[in-house]
Amino acid sequence: MSNYDELHRQCRTLENLFDAKLTSYAQVASNIVRPSHDLEAAHSAERWNDLEAELDDLSLKLQEINDQLATLAANPELLSPSILRAIQRHRELQQDHLRELRRTKANAQTALDQANLLSGVRNDIDAYKSSAADSLLAERGRIDSSHRMTDDILQQAYETRSEFSRQRGSLTSIQNRMLHVINTMPGLNNLVSMIKSRRRRDSIILGVVIGVGVIITLSYIWN
């Protein structure tokens, strides 16, 4: 478990760093295609190349960490459902980041090619690119925020379910001992009935809480 905790922390750190670098990369790419002074353009191009190299390096590190997490997940009987879900989510985020990086690279290269071919109308193109890039960045921030909130809610739901599973095991053991007592002390039937009613109530409350949380999350995402 300690090995998972360390890999999990490293993966979260790399994911956050990758996200920040990718946002900066998209901003620098949008600056390169705008008309500017030569010194500013040269600085943007150098920064773009540096960020691209850093993102490629982070991609390799994330791949290594996720491979190690996948090795742990090869023995699911040793891990809790919430941990397995977290490992799967790390893999999905890595794939999303790689797709986003490839898409951003392709869009940036396309923008540069268009800027070179249409240098006579660069001012009009730059105004459009700036507006589109800003809108995409803002939308990406909202989507990422929704994904993180969804992950947190699901993580809490899985942890709550695991906790209830452990409590159910304990209650089953207690119930078996109480049945033995009931056979010799019939007066405890009412107490057992109250305990069963409370267990059913807790199960219903848990189901309602999880259902409401999922509905609220889906409503936030789609709105």
The DSSP-derived string for the chain is -HHHHHHHHHHHHHHHHHHHHHHHHHHHHHHHTS---HHHHHHHHHHHHHHHHHHHHHHHHHHHHHHHHHHHHT-GGGS-HHHHHHHHHHHHHHHHHHHHHHHHHHHHHHHHHHHHHTGGGHHHHHHHHHHHHHHHHHHHHHHHHHHHHHHHHHHHHHHHHHHHHHHHHHHHHHHHHHHHHHHH-GGGHHHHHHHHHHHHHHHHHHHHHHHHHHHHHHHHHH-
Average pLDDT of the segment spanning 8-28: 87
- pLDDT of 39 reads 36
User: Is the pLDDT score of 201 beyond 60?
Assistant: yes
| Structure token digits, residue 11 | 């993966």
Range of the domain at 54: 1-139
Question: In this structure, is residue 148 part of a structural domain?
Answer: no
CATH number at residue 64: 1.20.58
| Structure token digits, residue 172 | 């089953």
Question: In this structure, is residue 160 part of a structural domain?
Answer: no
Give the type of residue at 67.
Answer: D
Question: In this structure, is residue 145 part of a structural domain?
Answer: no
Question: In this structure, is residue 202 part of a structural domain?
Answer: no
Q: How many residues are present in the chain?
A: 223
What gap in Å lies between CA 210 and CA 157, rounded to an integer?
A: 7
Which one, of 34, 45, 44, 51, lies nearest residue 129 by Cα? 34
| Structure token digits, residue 114 | 């268009």
Number of domains in the chain: 1
User: Is the pLDDT score of 38 beyond 60?
Assistant: no
Residue 166, helix vs strand vs coil = helix
Average pLDDT value for the chain:
77
Cβ-Cβ contacts under 8 Å for 217 (sequence gap 6 or more): 146, 149, 150, 153
- pLDDT of 186 reads 55
Question: In this structure, is residue 51 part of a structural domain?
Answer: yes
* Contacts within 8 Å (CB) and 24+ apart, 199-203: 199/171, 202/164, 203/164
Question: In this structure, is residue 28 part of a structural domain?
Answer: yes
What gap in Å lies between CA 42 and CA 44, rounded to an integer?
A: 5
Average pLDDT of the segment spanning 131-154: 77
- pLDDT of 86 reads 85
The per-residue pLDDT for range 67-80, each reduced to its tens digit, is 888 888 887 777 78
Question: In this structure, is residue 31 part of a structural domain?
Answer: yes
Question: In this structure, is residue 14 part of a structural domain?
Answer: yes
What gap in Å lies between CA 170 and CA 172, rounded to an integer?
A: 5
